[in-house]
A and B are shown apart, each in its own frame.
Chain A
Amino acid sequence: MFAVRNCRSFITFTNLKVTTRNPGLWQRSLSIQQYENPAGNNDMPIKMENPYKEPPKTCILCGVTVDYKNIQLLSQFVSPHTGRIYGRHITGLCGKKQKEVSKAIKRAHHMGFMSVTLKEPAFLKDPNVCDIKYPE
């Protein structure tokens, strides 16, 4: 503190003619300079990643292998009335998984594993994962 006062007084005395416009600003900037890199000051925040960062949003099939044999899983993305495959805006799946499911369903249809025009009656009571809204 002793050293600061000395510096300030010295500089203001010599630059009286030059800094008549904003003397307050010059003194304030000086004080900031003094505290920017203080030796041994441990009060500064430690640089780290945001600890409150939320985990990335995932779709329901993230980390689940989609197989043409697993018709129960595939039937969850199919209409119970017509057997049609639901679109991305209804299933809420990410691009990759939607494509995988769609391909697996078509494969299962062709290979004789899954029905085309209807949903297996045994799978009708399965939990609903799609956001289907029927018109009133």
Chain B
Amino acid sequence: MPRYELALILKTMQRLETAAALRRTVETLMGKGAVVRSLENIGEKTLPYKISKHNLRHTRGGYFLVDFSASPTIIPSMLDHLERDIDVIRPTILKKLAQKTQEECPGLVPPDHEGKSFSKRK
């Protein structure tokens, strides 16, 4: 069950170095007992705003997405490890919610004023 999603922004480096950084990250994850489901490359883009990290001002970055299932206890230590990695500009770990059925949307319901005219509080 995909439980977490790591949105990783890496410094623009040579292909070899990027591969090494990703390998490092995934191996750390697996070492802590996570099951990595997939690793996606969104591409190298200009950052929406300049980010200063590890004494460097970054303008461009490589965006990667790592889906993994893990125990919640490893998340703080994983974030700490990623913050210390000099090749990582911005790491974010998010919970991946189970996709709810979109057909439950009731549509634009007109506001019910009658039900609220009398306050239920004494």
Known: A57-B108, A62-B107, A116-B49. A110 touches B92 (CB 8 A): yes
- The residue in chain B whose Cβ has the minimal distance to the Cβ of A116 is B49
Task: Check B105 against A62 for contact (C-beta < 8 Å).
Answer: yes
Give, as a whole number of angstroms, the nearest-CB distance from B87 to chain A. 15
Known: A63-B103, A65-B102. A112 touches B108 (CB 8 A): no
Q: Number of A residues whose C-beta is below 8 Å from B?
A: 22
Task: Check A112 against B9 for contact (C-beta < 8 Å).
Answer: yes
Known: A64-B102, A114-B48, A116-B48. A56 touches B108 (CB 8 A): yes
Task: Check A56 against B107 for contact (C-beta < 8 Å).
Answer: yes
Task: Check B102 against A111 for contact (C-beta < 8 Å).
Answer: no
Question: Measured between alpha carbons, how far is A110 from B90 in the docked complex, in Å?
Answer: 9
Question: Measured between alpha carbons, how far is A39 from B64 in the docked complex, in Å?
Answer: 76
Determine the interface band of chain B, counting residues with CB < 8 A from chain A: 20 to 34
Q: Would you give the 0/1 interface string for A56-91, flagging 1 where the beta carbon is closer than 8 Å to chain B? A: 111100111100010000000000000000000000
Give, as a whole number of angstroms, the nearest-CB distance from A40 to chain B. 44
Task: Check B106 against A56 for contact (C-beta < 8 Å).
Answer: yes
Give, as a whole number of angstroms, the nearest-CB distance from A119 to chain B. 10
Question: Given the complex, which residues of A lie within 8 Å of B63, measured CB to CB?
Answer: 113
Q: Would you give the 0/1 interface string for A108-136, flagging 1 where the beta carbon is closer than 8 Å to chain B? A: 00111111110010000000000000000
Residues of A within 8 A of B (CB): 56-59, 62-65, 69, 94, 96-97, 107, 110-117, 120
Residues of B within 8 A of A (CB): 7, 9, 42, 47-49, 51, 61, 63, 65, 89-90, 92, 94, 99, 102-103, 105-109
